[in-house]
Structure 1
Amino acid sequence: MYTLEDGGPSIPTRAFLVGVSLGGEPVETVEEHLQELGELVTSCGGQVLGETLQRRHTPDAATFVGKGKAEEIGVAARELGAEVVVFDDDLSPSQVKNLEKVTDLAVMDRSSVILEIFSNRARSRESKTQVELARLNYLLPRLTRRWSHLSRQAGGIGVRGGEGESQLEADRRMLRTRIRHLERDLVTIERTRALQRRARQRVPTVALAGYTNAGKSTLFNRLTHAGVHAEDRLFATLDARLRRGALDPRHVVVFADTVGFIRKLPHHLVSSFRSTLEEITEADQVLHVVDRSHPAWRDQLAVADEVLDSLDVDPERVLVVFNKIDALGGEPVPSSADAGRDAVYVSAVTGEGLDRLRARLLERLYPEDAARAAALAAEWAAQASS
């Protein structure tokens, strides 16, 4: 079903997934990506009935997978009772239109699924505004194939116009007007956040960033002794949560739990969530949290690195935190060399390694105090042994 409020089709109960290996991309990688796509579909209430994978050098301009493959997908999906075909890649509006015609099913791409999840998760005024802006920016170029539905809604939302092209233009004007209104709202929100940051500028800020479901909220709870509900699901956190936490009895910082990253994160979401992501860009230190127990942790590390780089986050302010070492299945805790960079290994569930993490933050934020503390500890150790 297409609605202006949703900005696209809601996830039906039954879905069929499509992955494409382009330009010699390893099939194993595409299979991992399809598994993640299935988790995304499940996160917004869908059920995965089946999937297919295709190898090709370049995408087909009309249907991404070619007409013959699209027909095969339609037959396979309908036989399983699927209601929607979900592609792991982003599709152009014309590709979606052509695929729906060939398969006789609703078609969604990865971005539309992620937008659906964000819409379901948004709770605060800020996150709802950010999600709506992203969805309308996603919907605007796709309006040509769904204008007739919007025209039926137009009478109730103050838009007048005739049928056909004139109504389509009226719908476009309506969306552009709403987008400008939301952008103004976000400017106000950003100014408020800037004022709040200035008010607490005497207290250092440490932002938790990283791939979605890496355990950031659980770690945030451990570091701040907060009661924030940490869920084992994708994009459980959309709003930046702020809370004080102590590194030692004399040094307090503000920790910020932020929205998670994911492969192929829609650019509309990145731009719309600018005010939330500023908690990362403006932080004194950034903890890049990685689920070290995940089979694809290296890929997830690289994806989050790319997002942080796109936000112009200084690498010198980033400390990698490998989380979930309790779930390594009896493997020895790796060394920093395993990551190719300086890192700290922790378990937010058991608390293992958190003292090391606090000590590292103390060294980075208060180097003189940390040096004095280390010297004093060494002096005490020497006295104890004499």
Structure 2
Amino acid sequence: MDTPPRGRAAAQAQLTLADAKLDLLAALDPLLILSVREPCFAAVVGHTLQNKIDTWPLLDQFNIQDRIIATLDYAFPEQLEVEDDFCCYLRDNQYDLSHCFAMTEVGTLSETGFTPDPSVQKLLAYTIPNTLHEINLMPKPMDSGHVLEKLAASVAWLRNAWQATGNPGGRIYINIVDLMDTFMADRDYALDVLELLATLPVDGLSFEDGRGSFFPFQVGAVVAAAKAVLAPGQAILFHCHSGNGMDNASVIEALLQGANGYWGGMERTSSTIGHASVGELVANLVRAGNPNMARRFSLPDLLPVSAKMYSINNNLPDAPDDWPIAGYDAYRTVLSDFTQTDRRKMDLPPQVIGGTGQFRIAPVGSDISVVQERVYKVVRVKIERDLARQMILLMRADLRQGLRIVYDEPEQLTRLYRRALLATTEPA
């Protein structure tokens, strides 16, 4: 039956809309800020000063310029952290900090006047010229006007301090940690804060999905709402944690709705069970056909740098195999139909980002060509299709006998290969 003309036109319109979104992703050149703090925040081993120092050449290797080198608004500020030592190390060794940020917190306002947060005092002492200046809006206080007053006072104090130290152009992004929650609980309050931001001498807004609990369309709506209120030229940055499987999709939706950038670690290690990493975002924009990623970053170093970062952050040799993009199994083909090549739109061949295609045996899913490739990798023997077929049949028979064997392991695969070889050479 032919599709009615009206139905065909409606279908074409939907596909055209998707094409337009893909074209938008391919044209983006977002601000990406790499956080050194984010990956160690929830790591069970934390970071020593040497760990921090070891990360620096990796950032240079990937050629990422904008960096969050410390979170200075931590609990018990009188007891210094490794971040403080790292900032002093960079300052005292005269590293170029012009593109560096630190997380700081909005100060306090009382009857006696404004008091800057200790984190801001450290920012100045460490000569870090840019900041993500944090504030939490929830729970909403009885006098929400006080929140607006202290935010404005904190920005004014920092601008004046930077002016006095020769840094009038320092970048300030107001990082509203719980903006998503505030919009869900009290939209007018959230909009009041954004309207204030539009009048302040700040470079823009940063906000988070701190638990990864919001749907991508909700994140996109907050971006669009913020763009409608903020002043022209003020940017919007986003940061998203994992936990519910929506992190990467939320970042893409935020960019599609007009967010100007994203900040996070190079790899997934972060708060909760991880976060949408800068490395994953770069890879996905490359997948969309974005040429700016190759222009700005060293794409062949993406996976190698991510792997080294994971090792430093967790004191472990390898990231989990099943992590997207950076995990070992991300480019280990189970079925040949799944192989990502440069012949299909939206595929991302692993060699583009510094990886190598591999093959993995799954007794139910692997086809003949995968078995051939994996046997060659492990046994160093090129086998014919009939022998690969026999290996598949043996795995099928083993499962019917109640046997569950990890055939992908070299010892087990070699044993399976020899069984198949005997089966094909034995007289009928």
If the length of structure 2 is used for normalisation, what is the TM-score?
0.25
* Larger RCO of the pair (alpha carbons < 8 Å, separation 6+): 2
Structure index of larger Rg: 2
**Greater strand fraction, Structure 1 or Structure 2:** 1
If the length of structure 1 is used for normalisation, what is the TM-score?
0.27
